[in-house]
Amino acid sequence: MAAEEHAVEGAQEHAPQYATGGEYIQHHLGFLVFGQKEDGHWGFAHSEEEAKDMGFWSLNVDTMGISLVLGLIFLALFKTVSKKATSGVPGGLQNAIEMIVEMVQGNVKNTFHAKNDYIAPLSLTIFCWVFLMNLMDLVPVDVIPLLAQTIAGDSHLYFKAVPSTDVNITAGLALSVFIMIIYYSIKIKGVGGFFAELAFHPFGKWALPLNLVMELPAFLAKPVSLALRLFGNLFAGEVIFLVIALLGWFQLPLHFAWAVFHILVITLQAYLFMMLTIVYLNQAHNDH
């Protein structure tokens, strides 16, 4: 009971508009949703219930907007470095970019055994974009939401700053990779070869129903594993940051310790998403 009261007091001190620590966490996990309301007009949702009523065609403006901004930052950064690149001793930024590019090229060379000039740029884009989205988790949890509330003049505005904690973002990335897997599987093996890989493996054509029962779930699990692995790890990290924030001024040591550890998590998750993409696309190019 005393611990709950301390958490509530910390939440009120840290964000006076929230009555309890639970409300503080719940509000920070909400999205700025734009969609069609019950009266037929389009606009922003002002409550979780209103956001749910908007249905499938609603848009999480905050995570989508930040994702696009981070994508533009990635493109601008790499373009600037490539224009100013020198053959002499590289600067710190050029050296960091070159290390990332060499890391991606090395992994593609060791893992992808077919010939496709799009795989390396795709892998580089995935790693950098996902890393930047994950990196937003290290920004103090109240900074961006409070900035958005101040600009909008609405102290109850929902605004989520970490795109990879939105399952719509991670599922969109995973679905894009899944579409490429199907595309290259059919392109390399043909429709018949693609179907045969699911229907005749591993026990041959005489066990077709059993083969489909075994292979189809594994095939469909690829985008699910890509999306939920990234979302789950980053969402858990965000919740821990929010719980730490309830401690008020006592949060600083714990926040720093968790942020240092979380640097490994956000990098590892970006790397795993990239590597699984390379592995899945390599399987799509293998014609057995």
Residues 6 or more apart whose CB falls under 8 angstroms from that of 279 comprise 111
Catalytically active residues are 225, 229, 233
Instruction: State the Cα–Cα distance between residues 46 and 172, nearest whole angstrom.
Output: 25
User: Which among 10, 38, 143, 121 is positioned nearest to 74, based on CA atoms?
Assistant: 121
Identify whether the C-beta of residue 35 lies closer than 8 Å to the C-beta of residue 64. Answer: no
Task: Name the phi and psi angles at 203, rounded to 5.
Answer: -105, 10
The secondary structure of the chain in percent helix, strand, coil, rounded to multiples of 5, reads 75, 5, 20
Residues 6 or more apart whose CB falls under 8 angstroms from that of 98 comprise 90
Mind giving me the DSSP string for 82-106? HHH--SSS--HHHHHHHHHHHHHHH
Identify whether the C-beta of residue 223 lies closer than 8 Å to the C-beta of residue 173. Answer: no
User: Which among 124, 135, 149, 132 is positioned nearest to 17, based on CA atoms?
Assistant: 149
Question: Could you give the 3-state DSSP secondary structure of residue 276?
Answer: helix
Identify whether the C-beta of residue 261 lies closer than 8 Å to the C-beta of residue 114. Answer: no
Identify whether the C-beta of residue 234 lies closer than 8 Å to the C-beta of residue 134. Answer: yes
